[in-house]
Amino acid sequence: MTKVAAVKQTKAGIGFTVCVDFIHRECFISNEALIKLGEQMYSIIGPMQTFRVMEANISGVARRLVHAGVGGTPLLLGPHTFQ
């Protein structure tokens, strides 16, 4: 399982860092995106628990977006990111 560093929960979502080609990039996933991802699970577990369960998927998506050159600081992952 891939773990990301520096995870910080806020009222609006969760900030985290990914590393792509030795460059660390700040990312932020909104609570709305976490709710959408949480719908795939059988129980409601909350934003941080959803993040931890789906961490490999979330960080993989973030790394692919960074590699593709998607801008923004932090890189924002919203519900539309996981369609």
66 lies in some domain? yes
Q: What pLDDT shows up at residue 67?
A: 94
Q: Are 50 and 38 in contact (CB under 8 A)?
A: yes
How many structural domains compose the chain?
1
Task: Identify the residue whose tokens are 């490999």.
Answer: 56
Q: 77: burial class by Cβ within 10 Å (0-12, 13-18, 19+)?
A: buried
Length of the chain counted residue by residue: 83
78 lies in some domain? no
Q: What pLDDT shows up at residue 1?
A: 45
pLDDT digits (tens, 9 = 90+) for 33-72: 999 998 877 777 889 999 999 999 999 999 999 999 999 9
29 lies in some domain? no
Q: Output the average pLDDT for the chain.
A: 89
77 lies in some domain? no
Query: Confidence class of residue 4 from pLDDT cuts 50, 70 and 90?
Result: low
Global pTM reads 0.87
Whether 76 has a pLDDT exceeding 50, the answer reads: yes
Structural domain of 64:
1-10+48-72
3 lies in some domain? yes
